[in-house]
Amino acid sequence: MRSVNLLEWMFALIGPVGLACGSVLMKFPEWLGGAFSTSYVAAFSKKAEPAEGGVETTAEDPAEQAPEWPTDAGSVQSLVDEMLKQSRYALLLRPQLVENLTVDQLIRTRAALSDGMCLVPEGQVVLHRGAGICDGDGESAAHGSVPVYVLAFYLDRYPVTNAQFHDFVASGGYEQMAIWDQEILPALLDFVDQTGHPGPRYWHNGRYPRGENNHPVVGVSWYEAAAFSRWAGKRLVTDAEWIKAGSWPVALEGHPLLQRRYPWGEAMDRSRANLWGSGPGRTVSVDQFPGGVSVGGVQQLIGNVWEWTADAFSLENSDGSAGLEKTHFKSLRGGAFDTYLDTQATCHFQSGDRAMARKHNIGFRSAINLGDLIKRDNGYEVVPSQPVEPSLAETQK
């Protein structure tokens, strides 16, 4: 009975998140009565082939212990557990799905959300138009400041790691057409690693370099970042959201909005971020440089890797006319381990790159609207952990 309900909400979902959820269920062809072709299911369930000779992962790496899909295919519980292992908690907290969680699973899902993401409250943030153009002191010329209202959202506490992206690759993320932008489908076969396997550019045999499971994933295009976010039930963060999370604006009556230049304050402190001259000259684990944390608890917004955002990159002339030749550039924020100038590692500086670029210092993090998740006061009550059965919906009855 529950599986029928699950199908109902799946098809009720509109948009890529729904498709992503649906693709999860297609692992269970028997539920679907053979409605989908076996070949698609086979393609979907294809996993990265084991490493041969190339870069290997260590035994303790999560990649080494890549979770197997449940053999008892009918078990929704197993599926939920698996999704939690893959940090796809954002999907489970959708109102349409949460009814199928047991109390224990709901508690664990909420805990995963708290561990993995930070809540950024709604409010105004000022975007500088033409932020990429700098004046004499290197800061934004701000030909015009645009106040933007941002709704409350959750933002990944850390950039997406190699281990997290490996889950996406191993679960056939590169073969799930539904989570990719239509325009990029013809180029999907180009998104391969050094050995020709689907995956980030600098991986070998579908695996990340040894010991870098907790490093931010790099060598991914904007499209790969967007597809991963959809697979995880999230989306790419927008420019305004990214700046809000970092600069944490304060609105005082009668004063312009106070926005920090750096997450920790107004002055550059290279001991708080992995930048040129302050780190080892390469990516580091996402939990290093804890001093760079933002007010809301987001780590490494500045330094380590540039982060793709959902928005397009633009250069504007001082009269507001478009200054950039027509190219498919997407916005980048935050600076990376090799960012040389302090003025380019601020909350306000915007850089950009071709959406197809797969570079050694560009990663990403995802976000989700608070309104897209169930609320604590919507009738579901979190109770202490209990045995897996019965489901929360049954408990409510």
Torsion of CA 65, 71, 75, 80, to 10 degrees: 20
Say whether residue 353 binds another protein (CB under 8 A).
yes
Q: Which of 276, 282, 285, 312 binds another protein (CB under 8 A)?
A: 276
Cβ 209 to another protein shortest distance, Å: 15
Rounded Cα–Cα distance for residues 113 and 334 (Å)? 23
Residue 146 pairs in a beta bridge with: 127
Under rule CB under 8 A, how many of the chain's residues touch another protein?
A: 36
Does residue 277 bind another protein (CB under 8 A)? yes
Candidate list 317, 378, 386, 396; residue touching another protein; CB under 8 A: 317
Q: Does 319 bind another protein (CB under 8 A)?
A: yes
The residue among 259 and 344 lying less far from another protein, judged by its C-beta, is 344
Provide the b/e sequence for 153-180 (b: ≥16 CB within 10 Å): bbbbbbbbbbbbbbbbbbbbbbbbebbb
Among 315, 356, 370, 393, the residue binding another protein under the rule CB under 8 A is 315
CB of 200 to another protein, least distance (A): 14
359 lies in the binding site for another protein (CB under 8 A): yes
Tell me which residues in 123-182 interact with another protein (CB under 8 A).
Answer: 132-136, 138
Q: Is residue 290 involved in binding another protein (CB under 8 A)? A: no
The CA–CA distances, whole Å, from 129 to 16, 217, 240, 347, 351 equal 30, 29, 12, 14, 13
Minimum CB separation from another protein for residue 288, in Å?
Answer: 19
Distance in angstroms (rounded) separating the CA atoms of residues 262 and 347: 6
Q: Is 344 in the site for another protein (CB under 8 A)?
A: yes
Task: Pick from 167, 193, 224, 338 the residue near another protein by CB under 8 A.
Answer: 338
Query: CB burial class (10 A; 0-12, 13-18, 19+) of residue 50?
Result: exposed
Q: For residue 324, state whether it binds another protein (rule: CB under 8 A).
A: yes
Shortest approach of another protein to residue 65 CB, angstroms?
31
Q: In what order do the strands lie in the sheet with 329-333?
A: 350-354, 329-333, 306-312, 362-364
52-82: burial string, b at 16+ Cβ within 10 Å, e else:
eeebbbeeebbbeebeeebeeeeebbebbbb
Question: Which listed range, 3-11, 144-152, 174-182, 326-334, lies at the site for another protein (CB under 8 A)?
Answer: 326-334
- Residue 336: phi and psi, rounded to 5, are -135, -175
> Which residue stretch of 75-83, 88-96, 259-267, 344-352 sits at the interface with another protein (rule: CB under 8 A)?
344-352
Token pair 């000259």 is found at 281
Residue number with CB closer to another protein (33 or 136)? 136
Element (H, E) at 113: helix 103-116
Residue 20 touches another protein, criterion: CB under 8 A? no
Return residues touching another protein (CB under 8 A): 132-136, 138, 276-277, 306, 313, 315, 317, 319, 321-325, 327, 329, 332, 335-336, 338-341, 343-344, 351-354, 357, 359, 361
